[in-house]
Structure 1
Amino acid sequence: MKKFLSVVSLLMALMMLCTSALANEQKYDEPVTVHFVRSTDDTLDANYFSQHPDKTMTDNLWCDLFRDELNINVEYDWIVKSGDEYDQKLAAELAVGAIPEFVNVTALQAKQLYEAGLIMPLDEIYNEYATEQTKRVMLETGTSPFDAVTFDGQLYALPVVGETLMIADLMWIRTDWLEKLNLPVPTTMDELIATAKAFAEADFDGNGVNDTIGMAVSKTPWDQLFTLKGFFNAFDSYPEIWVDDGTGKLVYGSTLPGTKDALATLHQMYVDGLLDPEFAVKDDGKVAEATTSGKCGIMFGAQWNSIYPLQNSKNLEPEGQWQAFPIVTATDHKAKAQTDVGTTAWTVVRKDCEHPEAVVKMYNLFIDKCWGPNNENGVYYAPLDSESIWKLSPVTPTKPDKNLNAFLDLEAARQSGDFSQVTGEGYSILQKLQAFESGSEEGFALWGWERIYGAEGAYGVLNYYKENNLTQDMMFVGAPTESMTLYMSYLKDLQNETFVKIITGEETIDAFDRFVENFYANGGDAITEEVNEWYASLK
């Protein structure tokens, strides 16, 4: 036993030395100040700042860590709410070339900045300063996140790598409402609509007012909260991703025939009062008021939606229960939930930046603290008392598949009854599940985590998708094409405007056919040709 303990002590000492070596090797001799811009969202406000009102975006444990271990001071040129406000401000800044030292952008924006000569290549800096651990994590999903921002043979941005599967939509439903009405979990579109109608008419709050919404949708339906992606997927429609049309050619998913059927169905739901008549102007925060206040019991969205906004619903109605289920189908086969490239943002560096290597050092430290061999995941990523704390960092590269692997580790432990082998992030999550199961007041606040990683958790559904080939992946993972740079922004605006008008009845369903014609006539043809040239080059 003493020999065993000595070996463990030696290993722990070596791990601490590795951490110390990383910090000492990368720490600046003199303080360095770096400038970012960023957005903040409702999850940070609800899960962190509400509990730590004395903290700010520049005074928190992540900023302290970068200062103490790297001698890097983090400052923000501006901070706004995520969503339209951030997108509009960033677009306005980029349009006039007023970019900060470091900023997260889309692959398309990265290409535009490259073409404008405003950002620097990062190949040499990344190869010199990225640790082997960072390089391994960044390549876990292959080279596509790097390929998307490689222009003329040089890397111009660092991928904020993420998980592909977690993007897939789930159907979140109030199961306590199903039980009260003696309804089954819907598996078809007809059943879903019938359930939405039953929920809307039930008057669960007993106020005698027709104020319950059948299904929650926001004005940003292609994101990860209050989405319509899973709804469209039921009709074999895959908005805003490129898919194989069955003949070996790629086609833009928004133009598929099933899209028209989905829009017609949504219009009828709108007419029948199952959608909020103001959905097209309500952001996620406004729509969340409906789920929180018990005015809605169905929504599509990502696995993390139980933490926000559904935890707030549970807080107000402790007897209420939400659960994630596979998306329904509107066809004669099971629906496939669309995914996208797990990487949706890239960090670019302004051309005249004095310390471009600083961002690579910050990537190293973030990955090491969250998933390194000596990680402090329970402190810097997902502590018991402060969810979303990882979002305080201006750089947030994620270890792909970490969430699914944690769920599978926990599921294996549940089956065997032996939790002693659960380590790393899985152990941090296990502590949350155990706290919830304890029945304590503090544990109740972790209900959202149990809904993700528990025996009935959302990741069980995502694993079901994966094991049964029920995802439709984004097939185009190359760098934005020349025509995308010119036309895609306009085409997406055209799409969203047309879709909203069809749903609300301002336009008839025939407007979809005109949209498809206009899509191809106004740049879509050229984009499709370029995308398929890339696709053919892989064969």
Structure 2
Amino acid sequence: MERKRFNCRMIVRIIALLMVAATVPSCSEWEKLGEPLPTSQSRVAISMVINDLGMTFPDGSDENDNPYINYIKERTGLDLRVNIPPQEVYEEKLNVIMASGNLPDLIHTFNPVWFDEYVKKGAFTPLDDYINEYGQDLKKFIPEEAWDRMRYDGKIYGIPSLTDVQGIELMYVRKDWLDVLGKQPPRTLEEYYEVMRAFAKEDPDRNGLNDTMGLILLEDMGRTAPFFGAFGVQLNSWVARDGKLVNGSTLPETKQALAFLAKLYREGLIDPEFPLNRNNAFIEKIENGKVGMFSATWYDTRGPIAASKKKDPKAEWIPLEYPVGPEGHSGVYNKDLIRGYNVVPVGKKHPEEVVKLLNFIVGEGRETLKLGFEGEIWSMENGKMVTDFEEHDKHLYRGIYQSLVDVIDPVMAKARLDSLGDFHLYDNLQMIEQNLIKNEFFGIPTPAMSKYAGHLEELESIFTQIVMGIVSLDKFDSFVEEWYREGGAEVTAEVNQWYEARLSAGGGR
């Protein structure tokens, strides 16, 4: 049976790739896509391959005809032609396009390995001169740290899109349950343990049933970051120890965190079904009032927490300080600074127009593309921004264009998030950003990473087994040995080559 299923998947993938190859525009088709409209004979034609981010267009609109792309065309004077490959085969299509020679003027990718591979092949145009002349807003809003990661041999080969959210997780707790049990919001790891125990054992909802849990987790050790942070580590995040970078998953502190979580599981304080908790099940248990505490995403106040309150008006959720471990550590993982890469293939006639386009998106056009049209999506009332949720959701597709060059803008972010309702979204992000445990490796994935990453992540499945007590805590030591033996040593060596080169050169590649 397994062989048949595998073959079916392969057949589907082959068909998809054939469809991708069939849809790559020929040279003449690219020219047709770029032919000026009869009413805009003087416009420069710019073709672009970008990602739809899973967004959909309202009826009657598509990627080349909607109010936001028309707004960009009008303000830039460019005749834009957008090609959006299917998400499931996006990278394969980029490879087909690069091999075909029928190249667009602009390509956007989220994959640093793809960017690195084609830069080294000499496939992209260096953009320094164009950025200096036409990219003043790009230079203003994108920090040097990000530009540094676009450089190869001193030249810039891509324009980055930044991650505007630096972290994801923070702890939330049912304050009404704390009040019922006479407990204060916990701060230390030991206080967290005591609160979880009370939530699981002392009937905080006062229904007379043994149906509440102290803590809920996701499958594959999801939503555990604050508890590893209490021991000063994060899974798969690189930390400096004795002048070298070491993977957090292999450190003794990770073993200590697993021991703490195993204790919670053994005493019945964690949802016993957590290894089966996919996102929908996870959310449902929170909504249904079975959970007293969990590591939330910064936007869960609009999701399961809001749904919990709607279902039970007595449910009161508040954020907590991150649990502080025995050595005083606390915090969660950070997101990488760079989210995406914009490149211009070698030989294209108008790299300056691509830079002008991206400069417009990050500068003059940023407010409209980020927030939507004023007066239609949002308006100012008594000095505050107010959003029409229905229109906001209907026009989310504008992010397809805006995210080509996203930047960090705290003022706009606060106004936008506050306008979405009293969900403390901006406050949540501020709390997270003040408690990040930085990943010290932020380069392009190394060759060994690309080769071994999948297998090394599979080895970490033993963490769930340790927490559940299926295998003993001592198995962590054999995991570390296996991790290094089966590719981790090679990955670590390459990461430290990058680290040493950065320290000695002060940046760049």
Q: TM-score, normalised by structure 2?
A: 0.71
Aligned position for 2:467: 503
Question: 1:78 maps to which residue?
Answer: 86
| Counterparts of 2:354 and 2:249, CA distance in 1 | 36
Structure 2 residue 421 is the aligned partner of structure 1 residue 446: yes
Q: State the SS of the aligned residue for 1:512.
A: helix
1:29 match: 43
C-alpha contact (below 8 Å) 2:215/2:292 kept by paired residues: yes
State the AA in 2 paired with 1:194.
Answer: E
**Counterparts in 2 of 1:114-125, with a 5 A limit?**
114=119, 117=121, 120-123=124-127
Shift, 1:214, TM fit: 3.0
Equivalent pair of 2:231/2:257 in contact (CA under 8 Å): yes
Q: 2:262, 2:467 within 8 Å by CA — same for their partners in 1?
A: yes
Question: Structure 2 vs 1, CA of residues 248 and 281 (structure 1 numbering), >3 Å: closer, same or farther?
Answer: same
- Structure 1: how far apart are the matches of 2:219 and 2:134? 39
Contact kept? 2:370, 2:398, Cα under 8 Å: no
Secondary structure of 2:84's aligned partner? strand
Q: Distance in 1 between matches of 2:492 and 2:219?
A: 27
Structure 2 residue matching 1:323: 3-state secondary structure: strand
Cα offsets for 1:1-44 (capped at 9, x unmatched): xxxxxxxxxxxxxxxxxxxxxxxxx998266553333443xxx8
Answering whether residue 131 of structure 2 is matched by residue 135 of structure 1, we say no
Across the two proteins, how many residue pairs are aligned to each other?
Answer: 441
Q: CA RMSD in A?
A: 4.1
TM superposition shift of 1:310: 3.1
Gaps of 5+ in 2: 1-39, 379-386, 505-509
Residue deviations 1:85-115 (CA, integer Å, cap 9, x gap): x6xx557767888999634323234334556
Aligned CA distance change for structure 1 residues 484 and 216 (closer, same or farther; 3 Å): same
Q: Secondary structure at the match of 1:72?
A: strand
Which residue of structure 1 lines up, in the alignment, with residue 169 of structure 2? Answer: 169
**Counterpart secondary structure, 1:524:** helix
Is 1:181 aligned with 2:190? no
**2:161 matched to 1:160?**
yes
Counterpart CA distance in 2 for 1:205 and 1:54 is 46
Distance 1:55 1:197 in 2: 55
CA distance in 1, matches of 2:134, 2:176: 49
What amino acid is the match of 1:123?
Answer: L
- Residue of structure 2 equivalent to 1:239: 235
What does residue 480 of structure 2 align with?
516
Q: Quickly say closer, same or farther: Cα 1:524–1:296, change in 2 above 3 A.
A: same
| Whole-angstrom distance in 2 between the partners of 1:90 and 1:200 | 46
Instruction: Give the Cα separation in 1 of the matches to 2:202 and 2:53.
Output: 39
1:195-251 per-residue CA deviation (whole Å, 9 max, x = no partner) reads 233334466667766554432322365xxxx62222211112222221111x22221
Query: What's the offset of the Cα at 1:333?
Result: 1.4
Q: Secondary structure at the match of 1:251?
A: strand
**What is residue 536 of structure 1 aligned with on the other side?**
500
Q: Which amino acid aligns with 2:188?
A: T
Is 1:311 paired with 2:306?
yes
Cα 1:94/1:234, change in 2 over 3 Å = farther
Unaligned stretches of 5+ in structure 1? 1-25, 80-85, 407-423, 433-444
Q: Which amino acid aligns with 2:406?
A: T
Superposed counterparts of 1:276-315, under 5 Å: 276-315=271-310
Counterparts of 1:170 and 1:129 in 2: how far apart (Å)?
42
Identity fraction in percent: 25
AA at the equivalent of 2:472: T
Post-superposition Cα deviations, 1:451-487, rounded to whole Å, max 9, x if no partner, equal 234xxx3255347x3xxxx543222233333333333
Alpha-carbon shift at residue 133 of structure 1 (Å): 0.8
Pick closer, same or farther for the CA change 1:111–1:32 going to 2, 3 Å.
closer
Matching residue of 1:250: 245
Q: Distance in 2 between matches of 1:208 and 1:196?
A: 18
Q: Could you give the per-residue CA deviations for residues 62-105 of structure 1, whole angstroms, max 9, x where no partner exists?
A: 445345545435443224xxxxxx6xx55776788899963432
Write out per-residue CA displacement over residues 278-314 of structure 1, whole angstroms, 9 at most, x where no aligned residue: 4345443442222233332322244333234433334
Match of 2:116 in 1: 111
User: What residue identity is the alignment partner of 1:531?
Assistant: V
